């Protein structure tokens, strides 16, 4: 248990150092405003993807297997 716990702590420390290094390198290269804008854009795109994926409207397209649907069924509008 002690080895496992110390491995988790060491991994968290190394991940934190890596994150700070990448963030500081990005800020040094692009500046504060552009770095902040890219983080906000990335979070917004992730949120929009999650909303579109979880609303169920496109579920029959995403989970379809070959042969499950005919071409006429695929042309139908997404269900509300």
Which pLDDT tens digit goes with each residue over 54-69?
555 555 555 556 666 5
> Mean pLDDT over all residues of the chain?
78
This model's pTM is above 0.85:
no
Rounded CA separation 39/23 (Å): 10
Residue pointed to by tokens 């579920």: 59
Domains in the chain: how many in total? 2
Residues in CB range of 23: below 8 A, 6 or more apart: 35
Domain extent for 3: 1-30
The answer to whether residues 53 and 62 touch, using CB atoms and an 8 Å cutoff, is yes
Q: Are 23 and 35 members of one domain?
A: no
pLDDT band at 2 (very low <50, low <70, confident <90, very high): low
Q: Are 14 and 35 members of one domain?
A: no
Which pLDDT tens digit goes with each residue over 8-67?
899 999 999 999 999 999 999 999 999 999 999 999 998 887 776 655 555 555 555 666
């Amino acid at each position: 248990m002690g080895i496992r716990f110390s491995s988790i702590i060491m991994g968290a420390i190394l991940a934190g150092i890596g994150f700070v290094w990448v963030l500081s390198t990005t800020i040094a290269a692009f500046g504060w405003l552009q770095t902040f804008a890219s983080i906000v854009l990335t979070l917004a795109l992730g949120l929009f993807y999650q909303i579109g994926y979880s609303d169920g409207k496109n579920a029959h397209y995403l989970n379809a297997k070959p042969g499950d649907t005919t071409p006429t069924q695929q042309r139908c509008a997404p269900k509300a």
